[in-house]
Structure 1
Amino acid sequence: MKETDTYKELNPKALYQWIDEKRNFTLIDTLKSDSFTRRHLKNAVNACVFEVTFVDQVNAITDDMNSVIVLYGASKRSFDAVTAAEKLTQNGYTDIYILKGGIEDWLSEGFFLEGEAVNETYDPQTVLTLEDGSYKIDTDQSIIEWSGRNPTTTHFGTVEIASGQIIVTNGIITGTFDINMDSIQNKSLEGDELQPVLIDHLKSDDFFLTKIFPTARYEINKAEPVKEPFLSFPNYGISGNLELRGIKAQQDFMATITKTPEKNLMVEAHFDIDRTKWGIIYGSSRFFECLGIHMVFDLISLQIRVVTN
């Protein structure tokens, strides 16, 4: 049995013996309620460690701070039960055990579970897998947020994605999406009389020259998954070309790709572009002298959210 200042560890055989001996303890499943419904240990109750009310849920189960509590999670790789033990210790519970290896090790010892789908293939939902196909971009849910700066101010706003598609072939992504540059909006000056002035400036030949180049395009030449494509961390390296103001230049970035509950794709990315690569040199001290208050930093920050349908 492993011991720490926070909890003690029980291996599956020891916990099975406790259950067989009908020892007095509370067995708590720390996973989501739907996971608990699908499969759980016999006589376990559920308190989801991912919810802000977790400690309140445990208090409703037992408010005796000296009661014996056994927590379990998904596997030895998952920090669910350990996190639950830390939360309970911080809130006064004193006699906490953890099932070593969670449900995974419990099953490997040949012990049974209860629930509505105990034979269902377990998906740990940690890394991304993509099905081959062509995914059309949902322009109502997709947006680009931009942020530009000078020494004293940060301006930010949005620009719309007009159309596009993502193609997946054996895990490799290609595709294109068009950006409606004439839709550029500013949010930082909402309610200020200078807001339309800034928008007109951004649309002018000083910046994006939307009268002549109303559309920009990003072409994904090749996007590949990283070695371990975790769902909550940038998991794809995207290589491609951005065509802006009639100039095409390479722009690579990392993106986090996940799947929505409807099995559509959601792509999230945050990166900077050097606007001067596309001939947008207004206010750049690399091209002008004595700018004073007209200096504008060369990098524009983009936050892209693309959702397919």
Structure 2
Amino acid sequence: MNSLLSDHLKEKGETMSSKFDQNPVAAGDLRAFLIEKPETVLIDLLPPEHFVSRHVPGAQNACVFHVSFLDDLAAIVSDKRLPIVVYGSSVRSRDAAVALEKMDRANFEQVSFLKGGVEAWHGAGYDLEGEAPYQQDLQTMVNLTDGQYTVDCEASELEWAGRNPNCRHIGTVDIARGEIEIKGSVITGAIEIDMNTIHNINLEGDELQPVLEAHLRSDDFFFTKMFPKAVLSIRQVKRIEPCWLTGPNHHVKAELSLRGVSVDLEFDATVALIEGDSFVLEAHFDIDRTRWNVIYGSTRFFEYLGMHKVFDLISLQLRLVAGH
């Protein structure tokens, strides 16, 4: 058997764990634990802004999501032999489990964890400290506000990648304007794309860059003299439940009008809230250019192409930023 495959099969199914996994402290027992061992250090593992908002009294902050977590911890706990109790958000969140693994590998000796995290502490009736101790936002689900949104064209991006047997070309095209409407968690709208702004990135500084860009604007490809604009009409965007913030959480039904041809599209997108009342919609998907009569270099339409073959699929990466 191939050694790489053999190693993979040995590791398959194994999960990371630590020797501290069996050291839970219930919310009702934490106070007694701290009295019994007054040298114990209580560590809040959540981001600093969450710690400022709400935390267990007496806790100090070392965010497990920071790459400097162990260094931050060392600045608080100089002696790895000291007893430590860490806590995260809730029983659903793996923040404490990840911290236990890291601290085990870093040779800390006495580490326990508050079972159920700050949520369990508050749920047991104990007070929290902070600027907004009883305001809770788990920041795991998407909840959009109904209304009209305008696309921020400077912050939004549309990237493309095209390929042939010898190489891949990547680039951008500008979003000219766009409007989005949210009503009852259903998103509709339209995005206008300026096809004359097709720009290549990977040949930057090469004499072939303007040649490629001119070819893409020509009648061989997108014929921008005749069809300067493309329009992505968003017919319907529906939530995918559960609507996690970091995974594909909406299904998009749209129509792309390009080179005088309109074709239906469907793809999944990740929608997330950003600063203020704005949101971002991110999606990446492939389109078959020949459906819009962009047939140059396609062996489905031409024979004896030689060096002029171009693969039919174009990869698109769309990032729309929209706000009130």
Q: TM-score of the superposition, structure 2-length normalised?
A: 0.92
Check 1:4–1:87 CA distance in 2 against 1; reply closer, same or farther (3 A cut).
closer
Aligned equivalents of 2:132, 2:304: Cα separation in 1: 71
> Which range moved further: 42-51 or 60-69?
60-69
Give the equivalent residue in structure 2 for 1:39. 54
Give the equivalent residue in structure 2 for 1:236. 250
Aligned equivalents of 1:166, 1:299: Cα separation in 2: 28
Aligned length: 306
Q: TM-score of the superposition, structure 1-length normalised?
A: 0.96
Unmatched runs of 5 consecutive residues or more in structure 2: 1-16
Confirm or deny that 1:66 pairs with 2:68: no
Unmatched runs of 5 consecutive residues or more in structure 1: none
Give the equivalent residue in structure 2 for 1:18. 33
Check 1:217–1:130 CA distance in 2 against 1; reply closer, same or farther (3 A cut).
same
Q: Percent identity?
A: 46
Give the equivalent residue in structure 1 for 2:198. 184
Aligned equivalents of 1:76, 1:46: Cα separation in 2: 19
Aligned equivalents of 1:9, 1:119: Cα separation in 2: 24
C-alpha displacement at 1:22, in angstroms?
Answer: 5.1
Aligned equivalents of 1:133, 1:91: Cα separation in 2: 50
1:300 to 305, 314, 322: 314
> Which range moved further: 257-266 or 209-218?
257-266
Query: SS at the partner of 1:308?
Result: strand
Aligned equivalents of 1:6, 1:74: Cα separation in 2: 18
What amino acid sits opposite 1:41 in the alignment? V
Aligned equivalents of 1:290, 1:147: Cα separation in 2: 24
Aligned equivalents of 1:202, 1:299: Cα separation in 2: 15
Aligned equivalents of 1:107, 1:254: Cα separation in 2: 37
Deviations 1:267-307 (A, max 9, x none): 11111111011011111111112222111111000111111
Give the equivalent residue in structure 2 for 1:76. 91
Query: SS at the partner of 2:153?
Result: coil
Deviations 1:75-104 (A, max 9, x none): 111111111111111111121111110011
Give the equivalent residue in structure 2 for 1:155. 169
What amino acid sits opposite 2:319 in the alignment? R
Confirm or deny that 1:146 pairs with 2:166: no
What amino acid sits opposite 1:305 in the alignment? R
C-alpha displacement at 1:247, in angstroms?
Answer: 0.2
Give the equivalent residue in structure 1 for 2:11. none
Q: How does 1:204-243 map to 2 (within 5 A)?
A: 204-243=218-257
> Which range moved further: 100-109 or 16-25?
16-25
What amino acid sits opposite 1:221 in the alignment? R
Give the equivalent residue in structure 1 for 2:8. none
What amino acid sits opposite 1:55 in the alignment? L
Aligned equivalents of 2:115, 2:106: Cα separation in 1: 22
Deviations 1:23-81 (A, max 9, x none): 33110000111111111111110001111111001101112122111100111111111
Deviations 1:231-269 (A, max 9, x none): 111111000100000000011111111111122111111
Give the equivalent residue in structure 1 for 2:147. 133
RMSD (CA atoms)? 1.3
Aligned equivalents of 1:290, 1:98: Cα separation in 2: 68
C-alpha displacement at 1:4, in angstroms?
Answer: 5.3
Give the equivalent residue in structure 1 for 2:113. 98
Aligned equivalents of 2:203, 2:69: Cα separation in 1: 41
Runs of 4+, deviation exceeding 4 Å: none
Aligned equivalents of 2:246, 2:157: Cα separation in 1: 20
